[in-house]
Amino acid sequence: MTDQIKTPIPSEDIVATVRDRYGKIAKGAGSCCAPATSCCGSAPSGLSTGLGYKAVDLDLLPDGADLGLGCGAPVEHLGLQPGETVVDLGSGAGIDALIAARAVGPDGRVIGIDMTPEMLAKATANATTAGADHVEFREGRLEALPVDDGSVDAITSNCVINLVPDKSKVFAEIARVLKPGGRLVVSDVMLDGELPEVVTKDVMAYVGCVSGAVRREDYFAMLTAAGLGEIEIVKDVDFLATVADSIPKEISVAMEQLGLKNKDLEGVVRSVTYRARKADIANSQF
């Protein structure tokens, strides 16, 4: 066990590593948790429909928009209406933003936020190819969204908040930019138990979507503290069971060095899709 594993990972080191990792994915030179595939398992062609994406939506995407980086299909559950404004947190190559764009129509607006320049360039090119003039992608951190206060009807995010060290800031930002009564649907990774300490302090496990996760009750406590409520679980599945046969070599080696096997962590790490809403103060909903 190395000193690097024993030492807590500085937050900005995590951010830099995540940015570098996803920059390589955008260039086709790396992956999140599976070889040339996704944060959650098999190759995009089979993964995305398995996560809940409709084949008709995927068929209309430009090549390269679906990198298979999610752990759910959150946009499907947002109930978007024509003319609405929606923000996609950690928009990657643009899959969810472009699907949302069709739902809100030309009178609506979609804003994708990502901190990785390579992903932003890829997403912008995909939006151009799709002719989606009402979609834009902005560079920014989820802890400080480049979006005006109270300007957004809906927010989505797919397997990204778990990668942010300070999740409470993300939820505070979501609450800030949502209109009163605005809603969110997020797919994310959470814990239903404790991870071994060596896993929580390993940077590859963090970037691999595992050690960045927090306990379910802590996650939702941060969300409600930000003024978000009416939480509803849409989907809840075992995360590691879905990636058991496709973990990349570097993470497999790291786990071997830590003396761990997938079965030691199964059942603890969950892939959860949920709904929530910002309080509508005028109507005193909650």
Mean pLDDT score, 110-134: 93
Q: Are the CB atoms for 130 and 102 separated by under 8 Å?
A: no
d(CA 4, CA 7): 5
Q: Residue 46 has what pLDDT?
A: 58
Mean pLDDT score, 29-33: 47
More confident residue, 137 or 242: 137
pLDDT in tens, 191-206: 998 877 666 665 555 5
Q: Residue 99 has what pLDDT?
A: 93
d(CA 278, CA 184): 8
Q: What is the DSSP string of 101-140?
A: HHHH-TTSEEEEEES-HHHHHHHHHHHHHHT-TTEEEEE-
d(CA 203, CA 193): 20
pLDDT in tens, 212-256: 788 999 999 999 999 999 999 999 988 777 655 555 555 566 667
Secondary structure (H, E, C), 17-76: HHHHHHHHHHCCCCCCCCCCCCCCCCCHHHHHHHHCCCHHHHHCCCCCCCCCCCCCCHHH
pLDDT in tens, 256-286: 776 777 777 778 888 899 999 998 765 434 3
Residue 228: beta bridge partners? 278
What is the Cα 45 distance to its own chain's centre?
Answer: 19
- Sign of the torsion formed by the C-alpha atoms of 236, 238, 240 and 245: negative
Q: Are the CB atoms for 221 and 197 separated by under 8 Å?
A: no
DSSP 264: G
| Residue in the block written with tokens 């901190």 | 115
More confident residue, 122 or 282: 122
Q: Residue 140 has what pLDDT?
A: 95
Closest to 94 measured CA to CA, from 49, 52, 127, 142: 127
Question: To the nearest whole number, what is the mean pLDDT of the chain?
Answer: 79
Q: Are the CB atoms for 190 and 216 separated by under 8 Å?
A: yes
More confident residue, 25 or 137: 137
Q: How confident is the model at residue 22 (pLDDT cuts 50, 70, 90)?
A: low
Q: Residue 276 has what pLDDT?
A: 98
Q: Are the CB atoms for 233 and 272 separated by under 8 Å?
A: yes
